Amino acid sequence: MKKKITLGIVLLIVCLVTMPLFAGGAKETKPAGGVTKLSMWVFNGLHANFYKDRLESWNKENPNNKIDLSIEEYPNAEMHNKLTLSLQSGVGAPDLVDININYFSNFLKGDIQLVELNRIVDPVKDKFVQSRFEIYSLGGKVYGIPTHVGATVVYYNKEIFDKAGVDFNKIKTWDDFIEAGKKVQAATGVPMTSFEVIDQRPFWPMIVQRGGDYLDKDGNVILDSEINIKTLEAMYDMMYKHKIAIPMPGGATNREEFWPFMNKGGQACLIMPMWFMSRFLAYMPDLKGKIYVRAMPIWEPGNKRSVGIGGTGTSVTKQSKYINLAMDFLAYAKLTKESNIKLWTILRFDPPRWDVWDAPELLAPDPYFGNESVFKVLLAVKDEIVSPNNKLLSSAAQDLVRSQVMYKVLVERSQTPAEALKKAADELRKRK
């Protein structure tokens, strides 16, 4: 008896110790009653609302091929770390995933674990802003479906400009912007704008609009180019010489500290992409009716008046058991005309499919944004929207700009723009 108990205990211990080795292998996605379970990760709750809407109409239109999509929301960094680890280890990745452009290039290294999407993209490609596919492509293969153009605009708070007696419609160049800023500052005591100092806006759109970037078309590091240095020097001057700009409270537009500051009229205007409209609507209710959207000022003639910044590429992972179905749903949810209109009506994102830009839904006046037809602004600069180059070193480059360059130059003021950019570029070149 005693022996058996001992033996039992030993076996139990062995089982307990080795059990984790066998767990977690199989996925539980079994089609039951024609409904297929798919999983999706997103890093922003607002995006989840969009997919829920698209799922509902997919299921209405495809009663024989219904999808049960479970959408999981994670904070930005956590979701991408989870994705990196699950793709590295080969288990645990979702079928569909929203990947932030800040991280996208990480997933194009080595043996790519995302599914090539050309089958669904090619038939409609000519209807889209081409550069928005290029940022999610490698070697002609598309790995992510864009969510918006991300055209950078300036959001002017008309109340503050009226108080200062300044007409923002007359601001055409960044010099005009500085002059107007001085008047606003003098009349109201409110800074013209604020710059992200732990993130990269408006530095990135400001350099790309005049031909600069972090990487060139072949992926070479050009972070320390003359254009970039001159631009960062101009930003520094706006803060410390002309005193029209301040470091953003909280350091970035996605921080809790920034929203109440902006909401209470803490700054006269904000330079951000169109997708930030959704944040105005969600987080800054008091600015309703006061915000007017205009194209970016330019540095010198020939500059572009808008730059597509930011982005979310939706991808299908190779770990999916239903790759074809996931792709079909993705095509339905992001590539159709109807869905692109929904991108606007639900999320206030500027849809990447340009043949919906003159749809009545998009041209309807918006009470939050000065009761204007915001989309007319975008139509006016339609042919000027460029996007940054998203090559292999892009994630690392963006991270360096966010964490080192902006902070050291604009907050700590321990390095000049030229020094900081040179240093970051050198570090980047070591990563080859």
Partner 1 sequence: MHRVINNFLYSKKYAPYIFVLPFLISFSLFFVYPIISTIIMSFQRVFIGSITFIGLDNYKRLINESFFNAIRTNILYTVLTILYLIPVPIVIAVALNSKLLIGRNAFRAVLFLPSLISIIVSGVAFRLLFGTGEFGFVNSLLQKLGSRPVNWLLEYWPGMFIMVSLACWRWSGVNIVYFLSGLQNIPKELYESADIDGANSLDKFFYITLPLLKPIIIYVLTISIYGGFAMFGESYVYWNENMPGDIGLTIVRYIYQEAIQRNDLGYGSSIGIVLLAIVFGINILQLKFFGIFRREQG
Residues binding partner 1 (CB under 8 A): 3, 6-7, 10, 13-14, 16-18, 21, 75-77, 80-81, 84-85, 87-88, 103, 106, 109-113, 197-199, 247, 249-252, 256-257, 260-261, 395-396, 399, 402-404, 406-408, 411-412, 427, 430-431
For partner 1, give the closer residue by CB, 17 or 26: 17
Long-range contacts of 131-135 (CB under 8 A, 24+ apart): 131/308, 131/385, 131/386, 131/387, 132/308, 132/311, 132/352, 132/387, 134/387, 134/390, 135/101, 135/104, 135/311, 135/313, 135/387, 135/388, 135/389, 135/390
For partner 1, give the closer residue by CB, 352 or 417: 417
For partner 1, give the closer residue by CB, 198 or 381: 198
Task: Give the separation between CA 429 and CA 129, rounded to whole angstroms.
Answer: 31
For partner 1, give the closer residue by CB, 249 or 289: 249
Task: Give the separation between CA 320 and CA 314, rounded to whole angstroms.
Answer: 14
Task: Give the separation between CA 99 and CA 41, rounded to whole angstroms.
Answer: 9
Task: Give the separation between CA 206 and CA 119, rounded to whole angstroms.
Answer: 35
For partner 1, give the closer residue by CB, 105 or 306: 105
For partner 1, give the closer residue by CB, 21 or 26: 21
For partner 1, give the closer residue by CB, 39 or 394: 394
Task: Give the separation between CA 382 and CA 335, rounded to whole angstroms.
Answer: 19
Tell how many helices (H) and how many strands (E) occur in the chain. Answer: 19, 13
Cβ at position 87, least distance to partner 1 in Å: 6
CA-angle at 133, arms to 99 and 112, nearest 5°:
55
Cβ at position 260, least distance to partner 1 in Å: 5
Cβ at position 114, least distance to partner 1 in Å: 11
Question: Can you list the alpha helix ranges (DSSP code H) found in 73-197?
Answer: 76-89, 101-104, 118-121, 131-134, 158-164, 174-188
Cβ at position 254, least distance to partner 1 in Å: 9
Cβ at position 351, least distance to partner 1 in Å: 27
| 8 Å CB contact between 200 and 402 | yes
Cβ at position 249, least distance to partner 1 in Å: 3
Task: Give the separation between CA 117 and CA 234, rounded to whole angstroms.
Answer: 41
Task: Give the separation between CA 157 and CA 145, rounded to whole angstroms.
Answer: 33
Cβ at position 13, least distance to partner 1 in Å: 5
Task: Assign 347 to helix, strand or coil.
Answer: helix
Task: Give the separation between CA 349 and CA 428, rounded to whole angstroms.
Answer: 32
Cβ at position 198, least distance to partner 1 in Å: 4
| 8 Å CB contact between 235 and 406 | no
For partner 1, give the closer residue by CB, 54 or 408: 408
Task: Give the separation between CA 237 and CA 224, rounded to whole angstroms.
Answer: 18
Cβ at position 244, least distance to partner 1 in Å: 18
For partner 1, give the closer residue by CB, 356 or 401: 401
